[in-house]
A and B are shown apart, each in its own frame.
Chain A
Amino acid sequence: MNDEKIISRIKEQFQDKTAEVTNPAPRRIFVKVDRPDLLAVTRFLRDTFNFVHVSTISGVDKGEVFEILYHLANESCSLTVRITTPRNEPKVPSICEVIPGAVLYERELQDMFGLVIENIPDPRPLLLPDDWPKGQYPLRKDWIFERPEEKIPGGG
């Protein structure tokens, strides 16, 4: 179907650069690429297969590295481009020059994971409060929410 066409074309174009392309379900493709190739791959996908829509960008804390997943979509399928970035140097290029609609998701990543998005058009915090302490990134696994002790009236 359509999925195979996209996969073979990606493999052909980026034979040495894409580490793996998987197709776990119909209309779902996962592509793993190196960090420096991200822009080239998204641009290629946009121009060749009309992946103009970025649904969202998810970050996952995997200990040593952060994994960032760009969920792109066209009319027929949802394609996820996966990159990793080391924890001690969490830099990621911005894809806003390819897809301008990604800016809010990139700002969210900065807030929640403390990633540095290079060349982001608007680097300000998006979600966290203005008095949020520096260096606290809530969605990192080592960030643990401590609930203030609550006393329930009448409880033992």
Chain B
Amino acid sequence: MDDMSGLTYNVPIGPQHPALKEPISLRMTLEGEIIRDVDVRLGYNHRGIEKLAEQRNWVQNIYLTERICGICSHSHTTCFVQGVEKLMELEPTKRGLYIRTLVAELERIHSHLLWLGVAGHEAGFDTFFMYTWRDREVVMDILETISGNRVHYAMNIFGGARRDIDDQQKARMLDDLQLLKKRTEYYFKIGATEPTFVARLAGVGKLPKQTALSLCAVGPTLRASNIPRDVRKDDPYAAYDELPFEVCTADSCDVLGRVVVRVKELFESYKMCEYMLKNLPPGPINVKYPRRVKEGEVVSRYEAPRGENIHYIKSNGTDKPERLKVRAPTLGNYPATLVMLKGAFIADIPLIFAAIDPCICCAERLVELVDSRTGTERTVTFSELRQKAIQHYKSLDLKKRDSAWPL
């Protein structure tokens, strides 16, 4: 058996793989079941958003940036909007900023709860997954009541927020936050003490402090390596300079640390949401904004649920941006993930990869479809898709309930 030790195997994980929720290609070089080398190939979800943004006007771009991601949609619009406000020399209203920040924190809560569920699922603890995703519905309902949407909240506009919050909604949110807090305390207990869960997560996906720094990791991944970096604290935007919160860190530098950081951040978010709801300043929610933007450039930073989100916006004095550069947090975490994977077991791949909370559609911004049944790749035009959809729905023979007009 000795001559087998030098043998290595190359195993491709992705772009389409059951362990990954989105398309990314990882090439693993394995020796037995230990990963010796990893390579990453991106671009399977690249949609050319940066190029598209140069052809859309400022307002259209708010809705374009929102569609970069389905989970941290509010992060991208806020980052874009606050950058453009600086270029417009526009001061957003206080109430607008508070509502913006409130939605940001609610988004963080839903994202972290979603991630906790995924972590539980990848660790083989599906009850945890069921519990957290049930409770995530509570915060999703809150978001739906204030914005009317579950995914793209569309709450941002230059100069403030688009929708107001009334007293009834406020009272309901405060009640729901109490419930979430109680539930999260239970999750914290499980995450920190449940022996099987801790044994599965502790020591997996080690990322030493110095490596995390030099590879420019961001967000909870960085903070779990005991580096207290948080844009909300370091470079406060929106209403964060007035809110009571602390930067949460862990010193174990592993997946368990990343769970702990995120659960602690949930408590901080609940605290912030309560403070904001109780101290919501009166006044208008937004102000009128100009159509054109003065020539200039701005760097806008935002702490998304997954880490630092940065937009570089350059204006040439017209109604369209000259350049919009977006760097979503997941892209910043890839170099560090490759280091975490090296030397780990093949069974730890989903766990380590999920621990950065990867959002591939965020990290990439051309569309190519792969037929899941045959595996052949082909580009499908919009009109073909539309035709297919029309045929599909016609074949279903749907009728709207009690409607004189058939669907």
Q: Is the CB of A55 within 8 A of B381?
A: no
- Once A56-B312, A77-B235, A100-B214 are accepted as A-B contacts, the answer to whether A148 and B48 lie under 8 Å apart by CB is no
A19 at the B interface (CB under 8 A)? no
- Once A28-B299, A129-B368, A145-B48 are accepted as A-B contacts, the answer to whether A76 and B234 lie under 8 Å apart by CB is yes
Q: Is the CB of B323 within 8 A of A128?
A: no
A27 contacts which chain B residues (CB < 8 A)? 235
Per-residue contact bits, chain A 73-112, to B (CB 8 Å; 1 contact, 0 not): 1011110100000000000000000011111110000000
Nearest A residue to B365, CB-CB: A127
Q: Is the CB of A150 within 8 A of B381?
A: yes
- Once A25-B86, A27-B235, A100-B214 are accepted as A-B contacts, the answer to whether A56 and B383 lie under 8 Å apart by CB is no
Q: Is the CB of A153 within 8 A of B299?
A: no
Instruction: State A22–B256 Cα separation when bound (angstroms).
Output: 43
B208 at the A interface (CB under 8 A)? no
Instruction: Give the residues from 352 to 407 in chain B that come closer than 8 angstroms, CB to CB, to chain A.
Output: 364, 366, 368, 381-383, 386-387, 390
Q: Is the CB of B390 within 8 A of A153?
A: yes
A129 contacts which chain B residues (CB < 8 A)? 43, 366, 368
A105 contacts which chain B residues (CB < 8 A)? 327
- Once A99-B216, A104-B335, A127-B364 are accepted as A-B contacts, the answer to whether A55 and B382 lie under 8 Å apart by CB is no
Q: Is the CB of A138 within 8 A of B213?
A: no
Report which residue of B229, B296, B299, B332 has the largest number of chain A beta carbons within 10 angstroms of its beta carbon.
B299
Contact of A55 among B215, B298, B308 (CB under 8 A): B308
Q: Is the CB of A56 within 8 A of B43?
A: no
Instruction: State A10–B42 Cα separation when bound (angstroms).
Output: 37
Contact of B46 among A127, A150, A153 (CB under 8 A): A127
- Shortest beta-carbon distance, A28 to chain B, in Å? 6
B88 at the A interface (CB under 8 A)? no
B86 contacts which chain A residues (CB < 8 A)? 25
How many A residues touch B, CB cutoff 8 Å?
Answer: 41
Interface class of chain B by DSSP? mixed
Contact of A153 among B50, B331, B386 (CB under 8 A): B386
Contact of B51 among A75, A76, A127, A138 (CB under 8 A): A138
- Shortest beta-carbon distance, B166 to chain A, in Å? 34
A-B contact count (CB 8 A): 98
Contact of B213 among A24, A53, A103, A151 (CB under 8 A): A53
A52 contacts which chain B residues (CB < 8 A)? 213-214, 216
A126 contacts which chain B residues (CB < 8 A)? 41-43
B119 contacts which chain A residues (CB < 8 A)? none
How many B residues touch A, CB cutoff 8 Å?
Answer: 43
B383 contacts which chain A residues (CB < 8 A)? 150-153
Instruction: State A151–B41 Cα separation when bound (angstroms).
Output: 34
A75 contacts which chain B residues (CB < 8 A)? 229, 234
Report which residue of A30, A54, A59, A101 has the largest number of chain B beta carbons within 10 angstroms of its beta carbon.
A101
Q: Is the CB of B216 within 8 A of A78?
A: no
B206 at the A interface (CB under 8 A)? no
Contact of B310 among A56, A76, A102, A138 (CB under 8 A): A56
A58 at the B interface (CB under 8 A)? yes
Instruction: State A126–B299 Cα separation when bound (angstroms).
Output: 24
B41 contacts which chain A residues (CB < 8 A)? 126
- Shortest beta-carbon distance, B46 to chain A, in Å? 5
Instruction: State A131–B197 Cα separation when bound (angstroms).
Output: 44
Q: Is the CB of B387 within 8 A of A153?
A: yes
A60 at the B interface (CB under 8 A)? yes
Instruction: State A104–B364 Cα separation when bound (angstroms).
Output: 12
B319 at the A interface (CB under 8 A)? no
B322 at the A interface (CB under 8 A)? yes
B325 at the A interface (CB under 8 A)? yes
Q: Is the CB of A78 within 8 A of B301?
A: yes
Report which residue of A102, A126, A127 has the largest number of chain B beta carbons within 10 angstroms of its beta carbon.
A127
Closest 7 CB pairs of A and B: A101-B216, A56-B327, A58-B325, A127-B43, A101-B215, A58-B312, A55-B310
In the assembled complex, 15 residue pairs joining A and B whose CB atoms fall closer than 8 Å, in A order, are: A28-B298, A55-B308, A56-B310, A56-B312, A58-B312, A60-B322, A60-B323, A73-B301, A76-B235, A78-B301, A101-B335, A105-B327, A126-B43, A139-B51, A150-B382
